[in-house]
Amino acid sequence: MQPYEIMGVVNVTPDSFSDGGTFEDAAAAIAHGRRLAAEGAGIVDVGGESTRPGAEPVPAPEELRRVIPVVEGLAGVARISIDTTKLAVAEAAVAAGASYVNDVSAFRLDPGLAGLVADRGLDCCLMHMLGEPRTMQQNPRYDDVVDDVKAFLEQRMAAAVAAGVREERIQLDPGIGFGKTLEHNLELLRRLDELTELGRPLVIGTSRKTFLGRLTGRDVTERVNATVATTVIAYERGASVFRVHDVAATADALAVAAATLPRGWPRTRTTTSTTTTTATTTTSPRAPR
């Protein structure tokens, strides 16, 4: 079994930053999701509301109209994640075949999501975001971005566990690009190993993001190579789940990276979970701050 997992992105939206409108039609989105699974995505993440900077909220009925036919069409092809902050959407998606809830608000916008995840024994991803999509890029500030993100994720994980979510069902995402400057994103990547101390798998989503365009000068459709570079860096520093648009390139890069790192990489984290294996003493060099 490979020591990492790829989460392929299926945006069923007209306004997502990278592929808005491309897969708005359910049949096109289903075909795309099947292609991502064939290329190596173990999880297909279906979302009907853009979370790009400045995005406007989508009413639940419209979000449901967009995503439920796609979830139904992909059920059984791969593990299906529903990318939503709304309980009603998650409930319907789970009934249609989803088994993973990816919430960019970490259960803050609709706390009822924690109860759904707990009651149904679902996997979930809790992500750090400063504010909300409409405001998150308006002069984001931190005392220390890594320490602040780590404290937030620790607090949200504790809240989820208190609501009945089993710790081994939780994955954590530092929210690259969600209320962060270029410097914040780079610092999170440099010191990603510090977040592994939280004891849960780290989800990384750098795919095609603006900070990569600023570094390379590439258009959003030309950032595959930059995305792959950050994916390999994140894997070396302890991340194990990668949310990407370009699955085939990512799968190849991770296969090579995994072949060069010690067996059992990424490092296993010590937790109270009965399903988590014992931590190794393998460490990665820490970049200077």
Residue 123 has pLDDT above 60, yes or no: yes
Residue 265 lies in a domain: no
For the chain, give the number of residues.
289
Q: Which of 52, 200, 209, 269 is catalytic?
A: 209
Name the residue type at position 218: R
- Give the span between the Cα atoms of 153 and 83, in whole angstroms: 18
Residue 279 lies in a domain: no
| Residue 38 confidence class, pLDDT cut points 50, 70, 90 | very high
Q: What is the pLDDT of residues 124-160, one digit of tens each?
A: 999 999 877 666 677 789 999 999 999 999 999 999 9
Two tokens, residue 105: 């608000």
Average pLDDT over the chain, rounded to an integer: 88
Residue 275 lies in a domain: no
Question: Which range marks the domain in which residue 146 is found?
Answer: 5-260
- Give the span between the Cα atoms of 89 and 6, in whole angstroms: 23
- Active-site annotation holds for 166: no
CA dist 112 to 90, 95, 106, Å?
A: 10, 16, 11
| Residue 274 confidence class, pLDDT cut points 50, 70, 90 | very low
CATH number, domain of 231, equals: 3.20.20.20
Under a CB-based contact definition with an 8 Å cutoff, are residues 36 and 49 in contact?
Answer: no
Tell me the whole-structure pTM to 2 decimals: 0.88
Q: What is the pLDDT of residues 169-180, one digit of tens each?
A: 999 999 999 999
Stretch 195-221: mean pLDDT: 96
Residue 284 lies in a domain: no
Q: What's the per-residue H, E or C state across the chain?
A: CCCCEEEEEEECCCCCCCCCCCCCCHHHHHHHHHHHHHHCCCEEEEECCCCCCCCCCCCHHHHHHHHHHHHHHHECCEEEEEECCCHHHHHHHHHHCCCEEEECCCCCCCCHHHHHHHHHCCEEEEECCCCCCCCCCCCCCCCCHHHHHHHHHHHHHHHHHHCCCCHHHEEEECCCCCCCCHHHHHHHHHCHHHHHHHCCCEEECCCCCHHHHHHHCCCHHHCHHHHHHHHHHHHHCCCCEEEECCHHHHHHHHHHHHHHCCCCCCCCCCCCCCCCCCCCCCCCCCCCC
Residue 254 lies in a domain: yes
Residue 288 lies in a domain: no
Residue 256 lies in a domain: yes
Stretch 196-217: mean pLDDT: 97
**Of 173, 176, 203, 174, residue with least CA distance to 266:** 203
Number of domains observed in the structure of the chain? 1
Higher local confidence (pLDDT), 66 or 136: 66
Two tokens, residue 12: 């069923």
Paired with 81 in beta bridges are 45, 100
- Active-site annotation holds for 65: no
* pLDDT at position 25: 87
Stretch 16-44: mean pLDDT: 82
| Residue 262 confidence class, pLDDT cut points 50, 70, 90 | confident
Residue 28 has pLDDT above 70, yes or no: yes
Two tokens, residue 69: 């036919």
First to last CA, the chain: 34
Q: Which of 66, 243, 267, 269 is catalytic?
A: 243
Residue 283 lies in a domain: no
* pLDDT at position 132: 73
Residue 276 has pLDDT above 90, yes or no: no
Two tokens, residue 165: 């979510």
Under a CB-based contact definition with an 8 Å cutoff, are residues 133 and 55 in contact?
Answer: yes
Under a CB-based contact definition with an 8 Å cutoff, are residues 6 and 242 in contact?
Answer: yes
